[in-house]
Amino acid sequence: MLGNEQQGFATRAIHHGYDPLDYHGALNPPVFLTSTYAFDTTDTGSGRFTGEEQGYIYSRVGNPTASVLEARLAALEEGEAGLATSSGMGALTAVIWTLVKAGDEIVADKTLYGCTFALLHHQLERFGVTTRFVDMTDAGNVAVALGPETRLVVTETPSNPNMRVVDIAAVAEVCRRHDVLFVVDNTYCTPYLQRPLTLGADIVVHSATKYLGGHGDLLAGAVVSRRELINQFRSVGIKEMNGACISALDSFLVLRGLKTLQLRMDRHCATAEKLAHDLEAHPAIERVFYPGLPDHPQHALAKRQMKAFGGMIAMELKGGLGAGRAFMDATSLVTRAVSLGDAETLVQHPASMTHSTYSAEERNRHGFTDGLIRLSVGLEDYEDIRRDVMTALDRARQQAVSN
User: Which of these segments, 39-47, 83-91, 260-268, 295-303, binds ligand 7XF (CB under 6 A)?
Assistant: 83-91
Torsion, Cα 110 115 116 121, to 10 degrees, reads 70
Q: 35 burial class (0-12, 13-18, 19+ CB within 10 angstroms)?
A: exposed
Torsion, Cα 69 87 63 249, to 10 degrees, reads -80
DSSP secondary structure string, 197-242?
A: GGGT-SEEEEETTTTTT-SSS---EEEEE-HHHHHHIIIIIIIIII
Site for ligand 7XF in 332-351 (CB under 6 A): 338-340
Q: Which is nearer to ligand 7XF, 88 or 319 (CB)?
A: 88
- Asked if 91 contacts 99 with a C-beta cutoff of 8 angstroms, the reply is no
User: Which of these segments, 82-90, 175-183, 235-243, 312-320, binds ligand 7XF (CB under 6 A)?
Assistant: 82-90
Minimum gap (Å) between residue 99 Cβ and ligand 7XF: 17
Using rule CB under 6 A, residue 87 touches ligand 7XF: yes
Contact with ligand 7XF (CB under 6 A): which of 18, 97, 113, 358?
113
User: Which of these segments, 20-28, 84-92, 123-131, 362-370, binds ligand 7XF (CB under 6 A)?
Assistant: 84-92
Q: Applying CB under 6 A, what is the total number of residues that bind ligand 7XF?
A: 17
Using rule CB under 6 A, residue 34 touches ligand 7XF: no
Contact with ligand 7XF (CB under 6 A): which of 82, 158, 221, 371?
221
Please tell me the distance from the alpha carbon of residue 309 to that of residue 268, in angstroms, as a whole number: 9
Q: What are the residues facing 225 on neighbouring strands?
A: 81
Smallest Cα–Cα separation from 185: which of 175, 194, 176? 194
60 flagged as catalytic? yes
Minimum gap (Å) between residue 103 Cβ and ligand 7XF: 26
Minimum gap (Å) between residue 108 Cβ and ligand 7XF: 12
Torsion, Cα 246 248 249 253, to 10 degrees, reads 70
Task: Using DSSP, state whether 159 is helix, strand or coil.
Answer: coil
Contact with ligand 7XF (CB under 6 A): which of 142, 212, 219, 328?
219
Using rule CB under 6 A, residue 207 touches ligand 7XF: yes
Using rule CB under 6 A, residue 187 touches ligand 7XF: yes
Q: Which is nearer to ligand 7XF, 247 or 354 (CB)?
A: 354
210 flagged as catalytic? yes
Smallest Cα–Cα separation from 16: which of 26, 5, 25? 5
Please tell me the distance from the alpha carbon of residue 389 to that of residue 387, in angstroms, as a whole number: 6
Q: What are the residues facing 68 on neighbouring strands?
A: none
Residue whose C-beta lies closest to ligand 7XF: 88
Minimum gap (Å) between residue 27 Cβ and ligand 7XF: 28
179 flagged as catalytic? no
Please tell me the distance from the alpha carbon of residue 72 to that of residue 392, in angstroms, as a whole number: 41
Minimum gap (Å) between residue 401 Cβ and ligand 7XF: 31
Residue type, 309: F
Minimum gap (Å) between residue 112 Cβ and ligand 7XF: 7
Q: What are the residue numbers of the active site? A: 60, 113, 185, 210
Q: Footprint of ligand 7XF on this chain (CB under 6 A)?
A: 87-89, 113, 116, 156, 160, 185, 187, 207, 209, 219, 221, 338-340, 354
